[in-house]
Amino acid sequence: MVPLTLLLLSTVVSAKTLDIYFIDVEGGAATLIVTPLGESILIDSGFPGERDAGRIAQVARDLAKLKQIDHYITTHWHRDHVGGIPQLAQLIPVKRYYDHGLPTAPASDILPELIDPYKKTTDGKNQTLKAGDDIKLRSGGPFPRLRFEIVAGSGVVKGEPAGSPQIRICNPDQKPMAEDKTDNANSLGFVLTFGGFRFFDGGDLTWNVENKLVCPRAVVGAVDVYQVDHHGADSSNNPTLVNNLQPRVAIIGNGPRKGGEVNTFATLKAAPGIEAIYQLHRNLATTANDNTMSGYIANEEESCKGNYIRLSVDEVARSYTVSIDAKQISRKYRVVRVDHN
């Protein structure tokens, strides 16, 4: 038993944190950010249907104690990212919608049966984001400034003119892949800065656009935490980018048989300064050597309970914890860099 006075004291001095929930949507994406002032940003909404919308709503309402989603971003138009939003908007109010722009021409990988419900849900009130834009977040009180900056979108990176080619060569060692004509390459990617803490989420950005985040200059720079691009697929996670990000902690939003691929896992393991690799799922298609250790995996089985991974940043203490609540596992990491704002 903790004495009551101690309990009271700890309630008073406990710092408010910036929380990031990596919700398991079985190889899709749904990342919920809640600021110390209670403002919320959801990035992607998983697959269509009740499962993913239900999981997101549960985390938002029951864990994060949210009454609404203030900002919802669709990184790109694939069903594992935009699919859940019509159902989710029935479960919790969503105030603002952002995307990289509605498709203007038919494309084989963009399905009208996903775009039409999105248009209905947003009722024309969606805003287009492009590289270099910011979403303004409330800061104040004792908390360091928050910055949410878009660094990639529609195939271009911050500082580049619209329509720039996807492939850019900065040195002879570089090996581009064939041009990616899917909407993955158009993904919105962002950096969230909270004092000295930096988090990068690149949606499903692929190899060549990732390269442009480093060539000819580093657009993102070093981060603390990397939401591994494209569920950890090997068509993404160009080592040029990963090594430049120098993440301390990497979190792979993979499914039991999707993402978390062998080359990407090797790239992450070899990244300079890496301390921990987390996975939402054990990849059942590869060996134990190509998966992170069991204590870093939120869901072991194919028929899982949809366990999330939670990240809490206490900038005042200059540390963050990564927790898998379902396994009662929590680890603390230091914020090593100084305030970039």
Question: For 255, which DSSP code?
Answer: B
The residue among 30 and 137 lying less far from Zn ion, judged by its C-beta, is: 30
19 binds Zn ion (CB under 5 A): no
Which lies closer to Zn ion via its Cβ, residue 28 or residue 306? 28
Number of residues forming the site for Zn ion (CB under 5 A): 2
DSSP H or E run through 281: strand 276-281
Kindly state the smallest distance separating residue 78's Cβ from Zn ion, in Å.
Answer: 5
Name residues whose C-beta falls within 8 Å of residue 337's C-beta, 6 or more positions apart in sequence. 196, 198, 222, 224
- 99, amino acid identity: D
H or E segment and range at residue 9: helix 4-13
Nearer to Zn ion, 43 or 276 (CB): 43
Stretch of 18-26, 44-52, 202-210, 248-256 contacting Zn ion, by CB under 5 A? 202-210
CB of 17 to Zn ion, least distance (A): 28
Structure tokens at 25: 């949507």
For position 204 contacting Zn ion by CB under 5 A, the verdict is yes
Candidate segments 74-82, 233-241, 299-307, 316-324, binder of Zn ion by CB under 5 A? 74-82
State which amino acid sits at residue 257: R
Label residue 299 left, alpha or beta by phi (over 0 means left) and psi (-120 to 50 means alpha).
Answer: beta
Instruction: List, in sequence order, every residue forming a beta bridge with 135; answer none if it has no partner.
Output: 148
Q: Which residue, among 58, 47, 25, 53, has the nearest Cα to 281 in the 3D structure?
A: 25
CA separation, residue 80 to residues 7, 24, 63, 85, 124 (Å): 43, 12, 23, 11, 22
Asked if residue 261 binds Zn ion (CB under 5 A), the reply is: no
Q: How far apart are CA 66 and CA 38, in angstroms?
A: 8
Is 180 an interacting residue with respect to Zn ion (CB under 5 A)? no
Least distance (Å) between residue 253 CB and Zn ion: 8
Structure tokens, 277: 């690799």
DSSP string spanning 252-315? E--BTTBS--HHHHHHHHHSTT--EEEEEE--TTS-GGGS--GGGEEE-SSS-----EEEEEET
- C-beta of 83 vs 195, nearer to Zn ion: 83
Quick one: 61 or 79, whose CB is closer to Zn ion? 79
Q: Interface with Zn ion by CB under 5 A: which range of 38-46, 63-71, 196-204, 246-254?
A: 196-204
Q: How far is the CB of 117 from Zn ion (least distance, A)?
A: 18
Residue range at the interface with Zn ion (CB under 5 A); choices 72-80, 94-102, 110-118, 189-197: 72-80
* For the chain, counts of helices (H) and of strands (E): 8, 18
Q: Are 211 and 174 in contact (CB under 8 A)?
A: yes
Q: Is 229 near Zn ion (CB under 5 A)? A: no
In the complex, minimum distance from the CB of residue 231 to Zn ion, in angstroms, rounded to a whole number: 6
List, in sequence order, every residue forming a beta bridge with 281; answer none if it has no partner: 299
Q: Which is closer to Zn ion, CB of 204 or CB of 315?
A: 204
Nearer to Zn ion, 26 or 80 (CB): 80
User: Smallest distance, Å, CB 204 to Zn ion?
Assistant: 4
**Residue 80 engages Zn ion in binding (rule: CB under 5 A):** yes
Contact range with Zn ion by CB under 5 A, out of 135-143, 186-194, 198-206, 329-337: 198-206
Q: Please give the backbone phi and psi of residue 250, each rounded to the nearest 5 degrees, phi first.
A: -120, 140
Task: Check binding of 201 to Zn ion (CB under 5 A).
Answer: no
Least distance (Å) from Zn ion to the CB of residue 260? 13
- Residue 40 gets which letter from DSSP? E
Shortest distance, position 266 Cβ to Zn ion, whole Å: 21
Q: Which residues bind Zn ion (CB under 5 A)?
A: 80, 204
